[in-house]
Chain A
Amino acid sequence: GENVEQHPSTLSVQEGDSAVIKCTYSDSASNYFPWYKQELGKGPQLIIDIRSNVGEKKDQRIAVTLNKTAKHFSLHITETQPEDSAVYFCAASIGYKLSFGAGTTVTVRA
């Protein structure tokens, strides 16, 4: 099955700085790569996604890049704010199943 690895497991950044989270996947057949943000005690919420026919996608302060050849994708958050503090999960999809990374706890220091 698909194996998704996510790094780092924790990330502390100064408010206003950028945060980058990286993921790799194992199955070249994966074709959909979403990113989720989970706040304490809540279900994960989709923040951005990218499909395998696209190399980069941006939505305001959030961007995702995909390198199909290397089988890795990354989340970039610019101008971080305190409300960006949360756990972020990457995922890769084959067919009906979405496999998740282990998560990155992001803390934005004021």
Chain B
Amino acid sequence: SQTIHQWPATLVQPVGSPLSLECTVEGTSNPNLYWYRQAAGRGLQLLFYSVGIGQISSEVPQNLSASRPQDRQFILSSKKLLLSDSGFYLCAWTVGGGGGANVLTFGAGSRLTVL
């Protein structure tokens, strides 16, 4: 069966510090991978998605970047965090290929607090 792992689960970082959140998927090949952000009491905002190694699509101009160095690894990064980067970050995956319309499965989330 497929599983998705995301870490760290919680993170408290000072303004201006770097960020790295990591996500891996097991039990499947060539998944579509996604990073969403959820601000407190808000909905889910799509940040990045990837349909293959090295292929990153950005949905919102921001202080963050994403990379996919391996087939089942997706990394969310920032060089200098802002207060507004605080939130709950969710990695997700779907079966690759076919143009979408597949079940999206989320990880447990990473809660980032920028002070």
Contacts and interface: CB of A to CB of B under 8 A. Distances in A.
Interface of A: 6, 31-32, 34, 36, 41-46, 49, 51, 89, 91, 93-103
Measured as residues with beta carbon below 8 angstroms from the partner, the interface class of chain B is 20 to 34
B106 A96 contact: no
A46 B102 CA distance: 12
Interface in B61-89: none
B109 A43 contact: yes
A49 B105 CA distance: 13
Q: Is the interface of A mostly helix, strand, loop or mixed?
A: strand
B101 A44 contact: no
B90 A102 contact: no
Interface in B35-68: 42-44, 46, 49, 51, 57, 59
Interface string B81-115: 00000000010101000011111111111010000
